[in-house]
C-alpha cells in the first residue's frame, strides 16, 4: 500500500473509531457473530487470486476482535468456513485451510482470547483440525473473551 494511504488511515482511523464508539447503544450485545465472506470476490475485483483475498480478510480478524473486546462483548463467533467451501478445488481449498489455521494459531499465540473451534472438525484435513484443537488447548486458561471459530 502506498505510504500516503497508510498516513491517511493512521490519521483518520482513530477519529472514525471514536465516532463509532460515541454512536454505540447503551446496551452492548453479549455475543456477536461475524461471517467472513466476500474475500474471494474482492480479490477477483482487484485482479488477485483468492488466496490474496483470504489473507486480506484474515488480517482483519485481530482488529475486529480487539474492537469487540474493547467494548465488552463476551463472545464472538467467526464463521470462517462453510461445508460448501470444502467442495472447492484443492488448489483453492488448501491455501484457504492454511490461512485459517495460521490465523487461529496466531490468535492463540497472543493469549488474549479463548479460542473454541466449533462445527464438524472431522470434515477437515487432520492437520487443520489438529491445529484448531491445539489453539483451543493453548488458550483454555485465558480469561479473555471467548472466540468461537466456525
Q: Which of 38-42, 92-96, 131-135 has maximum average pLDDT?
A: 131-135
Distance CA 18, CA 20 (A): 5
Q: Is pLDDT above 80 for 23? A: no
The mean per-residue pLDDT over the stretch 96-125 comes to 97
- Which position among 49, 69, 85, 148 bears the catalytic label? 85
CA 85 vs. chain centroid, Å, equals 16
Return the minimum-mean-pLDDT range out of 46-55, 107-116, 133-142. 46-55
Instruction: Respond yes or no: is residue 85 known to be catalytic.
Output: yes
**Domain-by-domain residue ranges, the chain?**
28-149
> Quick check: is 109 catalytic?
no
pLDDT of residue 1: 54
Angle between helices 50-58 and 90-110 (to 10 degrees): 20
Q: What is the DSSP string of 8-31?
A: HHHHHHHHHHHHHHHHS-SS--SE
pLDDT band of 100, cuts 50, 70, 90: very high
CATH class as words, domain 28-149? alpha beta
How many angstroms separate the Cα of 42 from the Cα of each of 1, 56, 119?
16, 9, 26
**Mean pLDDT value across residues 16-20:** 77
pTM: 0.80
Average pLDDT of the segment spanning 130-137:
98
Active-site residue among 37, 60, 102, 109? 37
Amino acid at each position: 500500500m502506498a505510504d500516503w494511504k497508510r498516513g491517511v488511515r493512521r490519521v483518520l482511523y482513530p477519529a472514525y473509531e471514536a465516532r463509532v464508539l460515541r454512536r454505540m447503544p447503551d446496551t452492548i450485545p453479549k455475543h456477536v457473530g461475524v461471517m467472513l465472506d466476500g474475500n474471494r470476490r474482492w480479490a477477483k475485483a482487484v485482479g488477485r487470486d483468492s488466496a490474496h483475498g483470504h489473507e486480506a480478510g484474515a488480517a482483519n480478524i485481530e482488529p475486529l476482535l480487539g474492537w469487540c473486546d474493547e467494548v465488552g462483548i463476551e463472545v464472538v463467533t467467526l464463521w470462517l468456513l462453510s461445508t460448501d467451501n470444502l467442495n472447492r478445488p484443492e488448489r483453492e481449498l488448501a491455501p484457504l485451510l492454511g490461512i485459517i489455521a495460521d490465523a487461529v494459531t496466531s490468535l492463540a499465540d497472543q493469549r488474549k482470547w479463548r479460542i473454541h473451534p466449533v462445527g464438524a472438525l472431522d470434515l477437515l484435513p487432520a492437520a487443520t483440525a489438529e491445529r484448531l484443537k491445539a489453539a483451543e488447548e493453548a488458550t483454555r486458561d485465558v480469561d479473555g473473551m471467548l472466540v468461537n471459530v466456525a
